[in-house]
Amino acid sequence: MARARSVPAPLEPDDIAALDRFVDHLWLERGASPNTRASYRSDLALLARWLQSRQVRLEAASEADLRAWLAAVGAGTGSRTQARRLSALRQFYRQQLAEGQRSDDPTARIEAPRLGRRLPRTLEEDEVARLLDAPDVDDPLGLRDRAMLELMYACGLRVSELVGLPMPRVNLARGLLQVQGKGGKERLVPMGEWAADWLARYLRQSRPLLMRGAPHDAVFLSQRGDAMSRQNFWQRLGLHARQAGIRSALSPHTLRHAFATHLLNHGADLRSVQRLLGHADLSTTQIYTHVAQARLARLHAAHHPRA
């Protein structure tokens, strides 16, 4: 007999109201993405149910309560998940403090877990060249894929920015994209001649066929005539990576990493790369300097006579 699934206990109305106010705050005041809002709400709902079983309201939790909960849910989870949970707690209780709902911050003395620096997987320049050459550009889908790959590599786009790109934000005459990134922040990104040429060719030859006579706002369309999804692009990327002889696992983000790393390898300054990537904080971009330095160290070891 299949084991019955346990149904989470319903949240108290006061806790639901507090979470609703917090999520609205994340959206209106901080411009948090839907994914961030959903994950923070999920973490806090989990905490609220745990506190509820101990007859403690979410808004009244003590430092000891929060430490006990983090310890209870932390077993077997990675440091990044633990850090995200603590971030949700910090922001929630700081909002409570700012609104006068509390007179203290119970997270003030809770230390975040140490996060090891995770270097992104990137591609060498010859690997990128093979990947870009892999699609069959005589096929409408292949030409679309070539334009998408060229644009992602030339502009350092996130996959959500690529598949969500609307036609009014493309300026072929000036070679610019108006990209809407995380938190609704916009930036202008130059395409470069190669990417602009492939995009123009796609728009002229393939997109009218994929539209199937129905107008669509999205730049990149699927075989069904609707907007490309992230999952669809991921699958196509994997197909072309295998065709290019790239055996290591790739994600759409790999081309964004390659964009940043190759710019730094060729002398770009970190601030410029930060603006092109749309990073709010320079520290986020600095991880790419480690990738570039690691590659230079390998080149030195392989080719310097006294390495």
Q: What is the DSSP string of 143-170?
A: HHHHHHHHHHHHHT--HHHHHT-BGGGE
Res 4 pLDDT > 50 = no
For residue 61, the domain's CATH number is 1.10.150.130
Q: State whether 94 and 131 are in the same domain.
A: no
Whether residue 106 is contained in a domain is answered as: no
- The mean per-residue pLDDT over the stretch 260-289 comes to 72
Burial of residue 204 (CB within 10 Å: 0-12, 13-18, 19+) is exposed
Res 298 pLDDT > 80 = no
Express each pLDDT in 174-186 by its tens digit: 999 998 887 777 8
More confident residue, 95 or 115: 95
Clarify whether 216 is annotated catalytic. no
Clarify whether 257 is annotated catalytic. no
Residue ranges of alpha helices (H) inside 29-139 are 34-52, 63-74, 79-98, 125-133
Whether residue 111 is contained in a domain is answered as: no
Clarify whether 93 is annotated catalytic. no
Res 280 pLDDT > 80 = no
pTM attached to this predicted model: 0.59
Whether residue 117 is contained in a domain is answered as: no
Q: State whether 18 and 87 are in the same domain.
A: yes
Q: State whether 144 and 74 are in the same domain.
A: no
d(CA 134, CA 292): 26
- The mean per-residue pLDDT over the stretch 168-176 comes to 93
Whether residue 23 is contained in a domain is answered as: yes
Whether residue 283 is contained in a domain is answered as: yes
For residue 150, the domain's CATH number is 1.10.443.10
Q: State whether 193 and 91 are in the same domain.
A: no
Q: State whether 93 and 175 are in the same domain.
A: no
Res 293 pLDDT > 70 = no
Q: State whether 149 and 283 are in the same domain.
A: yes
User: What is the per-residue pLDDT for 1?
Assistant: 42
Rounded to the nearest angstrom, the gap between the alpha carbon of residue 197 and the centroid of all alpha carbons in its chain is 27
Q: State whether 142 and 83 are in the same domain.
A: no
Which member of 182, 201, 216, 230 is catalytic?
A: 182
Clarify whether 300 is annotated catalytic. no
Q: State whether 138 and 270 are in the same domain.
A: yes
Q: State whether 269 and 169 are in the same domain.
A: yes
Express each pLDDT in 58-92 by its tens digit: 999 999 999 999 988 887 677 778 888 999 999 99
Distances (CA, A) of 251 to 134, 137, 218, 233, 234: 16, 22, 22, 10, 7
Clarify whether 256 is annotated catalytic. yes
Clarify whether 240 is annotated catalytic. no
Number of domains comprising the chain: 2
Which member of 41, 130, 279, 295 is catalytic?
A: 279
Burial of residue 36 (CB within 10 Å: 0-12, 13-18, 19+) is buried
Q: State whether 166 and 258 are in the same domain.
A: yes
Percent of the chain with pLDDT over 70: 85
Which member of 85, 158, 207, 262 is catalytic?
A: 158
Range of the domain at 89: 13-98
d(CA 109, CA 102): 16
User: What is the end-to-end Cα distance of the chain in Å, rounded?
Assistant: 66
Which member of 37, 201, 253, 295 is catalytic?
A: 253
